Amino acid sequence: MMTQNLNGLRTLVLNADMQPLSWAPLSVWSWEDAFVAVHRERVIQVKTYDDVVVHSASRTYEVPAVVALKRYRKRKKVAFTRYHLFLRDEFTCQYCGQRFAAKELTFDHVVPRSKGGSSSWTNIVASCSADNLRKANLTVKQAGMKLLRRPFEPTVHQLDQAARRLPFTKGELHQTWMDFLYWDAEIITD
Within 10 Å of residue 91's Cβ, how many Cβ atoms? 19
Within 10 Å of residue 37's Cβ, how many Cβ atoms? 20
How much is the mean pLDDT over the chain? 88
Q: Where are the beta strands (DSSP E) in 2-147?
A: 10-14, 28-30, 43-55, 60-69, 105-109, 124-128
CA dist., res. 74 & res. 65, Å (int):
23
**pLDDT-derived band at 48, boundaries 50, 70, 90:** very high
Q: What was the pLDDT predicted at 182? A: 63
Q: How many residues does the chain have?
A: 190
Within 10 Å of residue 143's Cβ, how many Cβ atoms? 14
Q: What was the pLDDT predicted at 19? A: 85
Q: Which residues of 107-131 are buried (b: 16+ CB within 10 A; e: fewer)?
A: bbbbebeeeebeeebebbbbbbeeb
The 3-state DSSP class for residue 173 equals coil
Q: What was the pLDDT predicted at 112? A: 96
CB 31 within 8 A of CB 63: yes
Q: What was the pLDDT predicted at 180? A: 77
Predicted confidence (pLDDT) at residue 2 exceeds the cutoff of 50: no
pTM of this prediction? 0.72
Q: What was the pLDDT predicted at 76? A: 82
Q: What was the pLDDT predicted at 129? A: 96
CA dist., res. 48 & res. 52, Å (int):
8
Q: What was the pLDDT predicted at 186? A: 52
138-180 confidence digits (pLDDT tens): 999 999 999 999 999 999 989 988 888 877 655 667 777 877 7
Q: What was the pLDDT predicted at 80? A: 93
Predicted confidence (pLDDT) at residue 53 exceeds the cutoff of 80: yes
Q: Where are the alpha helices (DSSP H) in the chain?
A: 31-39, 82-88, 129-135, 156-165, 178-181
The two beta strands, 124-128 and 43-55, are unpaired
Q: How many CA atoms lie within 13 A of 141 on its CB side?
A: 1
Q: What was the pLDDT predicted at 184? A: 46
Q: What was the pLDDT predicted at 189? A: 54
